[in-house]
A and B are shown apart, each in its own frame.
Chain A
Amino acid sequence: MSGVDITIGVGPAGAAHSAAARLSAEDRAKLARVADLLIPASADMPKASDADVHGVQIDRVLSVRPDLLDVVEAGLAAIEEPLPADFAELDSRGIPELRGLADAVTAAYFLDPVVAERVGYKKRSAIPIRFDDDLAELVAPVTSRGPIYRPTP
């Protein structure tokens, strides 16, 4: 075989660092409050701000997708103060930029290790192939019905 010789997962680029740096403390505070409307706490899951969505997690998102900074900033700018009491009220405002912001917040939320552990998904791990040994038995009803194609006339 070729050998698996590919370096993966390049680290954050300088541009990405600067993307995260563009979010001010004020932006992050608003992001935390909006994120909690999007992802409130449940009995067994933390709310978004408890997963540090507005801090390290959004920075991690921007390290891979610096293009989302504009999306986050546009979303925050489009949501006027005072913030509503819940997501339903926020959604009813019909803000086009909300979807992109919600996607970025969601991505940030699932990067939190506690959240990842509780939803049962961290990253894709290598699982060696174990072939099925019962395929002949499984396809027997299909083969027993014979050909289903129309032959070349």
Chain B
Amino acid sequence: MMQKSATGSNRADVVIVGAGPAGAVAARRFVEGGYSVVCIEQGDWPDYRTSHVADEYLELSAGKQWNPLPNVRRGPADYPIDTSHSDVEPLIWNGVGGSTVMYAGIWMRLMPSDFRVRSLDGVADDWPLSYEDLSPYYDRIEADFGVSGYPGDPAFPDITSYPMRAAPVGPAGRMMAEAHNRLGWHWWPGSNAIATQDYRNQGACVQRGACMWGCINKSKASPDITHWPDLLAQGARLVTGATAQEIETDSRGLATAVVYIDRDGRTHRQEGDLIVVAANGLGTPRLLQLSTSKRFPNGLANSSGQVGKRLMMHPFASVVGVFEDELDPWKSVWGQPVYSLEFYETVKERGFVRGAKWNVTPTGGPQSMTAPFPWGGRPIWGDDFHRTVKDRLGHSVAWGIVAEDLPEDHNRVELDHSRLDRDGIPGVKMIYKTSQNTKDLLAFNVARAQESLREAGAKETIVAPMIRETGWHLLGTATMGDDPSSSVVDQWGRAHDVPNLLIVDGSTWPTSSGMNPTPTIAAFSLRAAEHAVESARSQKVAS
């Protein structure tokens, strides 16, 4: 039975690894339930003083300090990631708020079919929970993350309200909306975790179009703003600069503590009744694989052999349209002014299963007009330089295309004992190949996106080259299911092998959907934490 600790005890009721959205959401629910919470976070708080979103250095800082590639940024909390056997580079931020500190704030629920791909399309696996199970938690999470949007999208069963009104669709979004209306294709005003009015800890967005590089207005929801300041005031303890090294277990196979190394290299042991892992699709399998013992020789919670397997990463495509009209796309939210789910559901005649979600994406400032992505590798310097920049700058907009990526055992995360982090802990190695279904799916959607842009009046469309730096969504490396022989956790995030170990991040996803995952990661974490609170009386804990 999990009991609420007496004040002053060093043992916590709940120890959470990771202060990103999954960890923060769980922490809030446990704190609300009256439990003591300690969160172990390897990174630090984001330093918005280094943000350049309001000065002329924005695009420069985006290339380094605010670069989502850990292998480029090389911050003190970034552990080594060997990507030499991966088609895609991971994009993550290690610190308080997790990768939402750098996300665009795009907010999409999954659709009902995303939970039933085996039943509906005969591939992969159904989730052990349904859209209807998660729907009430989406509603609550959207309030916590200050989401703005326009309710009533017929692509979903029951989105009847958002906490705030949708951000303006802007000239580019309106142009694409009208084009889709002419084509008879779906589109909808964008839903974003971006406050369009002052809301709780968030300030109203001022449309700098720079959400990913340090939102100084605190408009974009990330847990360093929306959750942790309040949680700390309510008594939660957040240990930053602390790298989890191992989860210890007792002779009964129950988790007892998280062993971590602080920023000065000292080792600590934080005991807890319930251990919650929320370290993302790379960090979570890494920690489980590091936690070996006589009882768990292949890593913790890994009797199925599935820890680290089924890595999914949402290969991403982009198609740009260049227009005569002045669109000034940077004078808006970055997020998504509008989105389209016209080609999201499976249509068998297309020759592939599942689909993709599109969102309108600004193309950026002048420096971005010369970049290989999305414009292709042909250099533009010399005599063409000024004409090319003039054509593109303020006159271009892109469809970003997020493709569903199905799980395959050979796409995986392993420990890399040859490359160690600052504390001597092994890094990770990603092995990932994009499947033919995903390639076919992307090719189809790219062709349709060109049609869409031409209908909107584009004088030129450019298909961005497939690049490696698109791995924002790290999913599926500790999959959930009802069968302990083929999955790591159950529908409540509870490890089949370790009754007091919860995993609440995107690693639990059996399939990836084609949506931006943060809302579902957060809703799943809330549902899992709530179940743990409600079943605390029967919760087994180490003695």
Residues of A within 8 A of B (CB): 1-4, 6-10, 37-40, 42, 44-45, 60-61, 64-65, 67, 86-88, 91, 99, 102-103, 106-107, 110-111, 116, 119-132, 135, 138-139, 141-143, 145-153
Contact indicator per residue, chain B 188-232, by CB within 8 Å of chain A (1) or not (0): 110000001111111111111110000011100000010000000
Q: Which residues of B contact A149 (CB under 8 A)?
A: 111-113, 154-157, 345
Find out whether the CB atom of A39 lies under 8 angstroms from the CB atom of B51: no
Question: Lowest 8 A-B CB distances belong to which pairs?
Answer: A87-B382, A1-B198, A126-B206, A124-B208, A42-B386, A127-B207, A38-B381, A6-B48
CA distance in complex: A38, B380 (Å): 9
Find out whether the CB atom of B113 lies under 8 angstroms from the CB atom of A106: no
Find out whether the CB atom of B57 lies under 8 angstroms from the CB atom of A2: no
Which residue on chain B has the smallest CB distance to residue A144? Answer: B154
Nearest-Cβ distance from residue A6 to partner chain B, whole angstroms: 4
CA distance in complex: A146, B382 (Å): 52
Give chain A's interface secondary structure class: loop
Find out whether the CB atom of B365 lies under 8 angstroms from the CB atom of A132: no
- In the complex with contacts A142-B188, A149-B112, A111-B203 CB distance below 8 A: no
Contact indicator per residue, chain B 352-382, by CB within 8 Å of chain A (1) or not (0): 0000000000000111001000000001011
Nearest-Cβ distance from residue B344 to partner chain A, whole angstroms: 8
Q: Which residues of A contact B216 (CB under 8 A)?
A: 4, 6, 8
CA distance in complex: A123, B57 (Å): 8
Report which of A40, A131, A142 forms a contact with B385, defined as CB distance below 8 A. A40
Which residue on chain B has the smallest CB distance to residue A128? Answer: B206
Report which of A88, A130, A147 forms a contact with B157, defined as CB distance below 8 A. A147
Nearest-Cβ distance from residue A3 to partner chain B, whole angstroms: 8
Chain B interface category by residue count:
35 or more
Find out whether the CB atom of A2 lies under 8 angstroms from the CB atom of B218: yes
- In the complex with contacts A1-B200, A87-B382, A151-B330 CB distance below 8 A: no
Instruction: Find residues 39-62 in chain B having any chain A CB closer than 8 Å to their own CB.
Output: 48-61
Find out whether the CB atom of B51 lies under 8 angstroms from the CB atom of A129: no
Q: Tell whether B174 is near chain A: CB-to-CB under 8 Å.
A: yes
- In the complex with contacts A8-B51, A42-B386, A142-B154, A150-B345 CB distance below 8 A: yes
CA distance in complex: A129, B365 (Å): 21
Nearest-Cβ distance from residue A91 to partner chain B, whole angstroms: 6
- In the complex with contacts A8-B49, A124-B330, A65-B116 CB distance below 8 A: no
A-B contact count (CB 8 A): 214
- In the complex with contacts A1-B203, A42-B386, A153-B120, A135-B49 CB distance below 8 A: no
Q: Which residues of B contact A119 (CB under 8 A)?
A: 366, 389-390, 393
CA distance in complex: A64, B150 (Å): 39
CA distance in complex: A67, B60 (Å): 11
Find out whether the CB atom of B382 lies under 8 angstroms from the CB atom of A107: no
Q: Tell whether B161 is near chain A: CB-to-CB under 8 Å.
A: no
Known A126-B54, A150-B345; 7 more pairs at CB < 8 Å: A2-B202, A40-B383, A64-B61, A86-B382, A121-B366, A131-B168, A131-B196
Find out whether the CB atom of A153 lies under 8 angstroms from the CB atom of B382: no
Which residue on chain B has the smallest CB distance to residue A91? Answer: B379
Q: Which residues of B contact A2 (CB under 8 A)?
A: 200-203, 218, 225
Nearest-Cβ distance from residue A94 to partner chain B, whole angstroms: 11
Find out whether the CB atom of A142 lies under 8 angstroms from the CB atom of B54: no
Find out whether the CB atom of B365 lies under 8 angstroms from the CB atom of A107: no
Find out whether the CB atom of A110 lies under 8 angstroms from the CB atom of B367: yes
* A-B contacts, 24 listed (Cβ < 8 Å): A1-B198, A2-B218, A3-B203, A8-B48, A8-B49, A8-B51, A8-B53, A8-B54, A8-B55, A38-B385, A39-B386, A40-B383, A64-B60, A64-B61, A86-B383, A107-B367, A120-B393, A124-B209, A127-B208, A132-B166, A135-B169, A138-B181, A139-B189, A152-B116
Find out whether the CB atom of A116 lies under 8 angstroms from the CB atom of B56: yes
Q: Which residues of A contact B58 (CB under 8 A)?
A: 123-124
Nearest-Cβ distance from residue B70 to partner chain A, whole angstroms: 15
Find out whether the CB atom of B381 lies under 8 angstroms from the CB atom of A102: yes
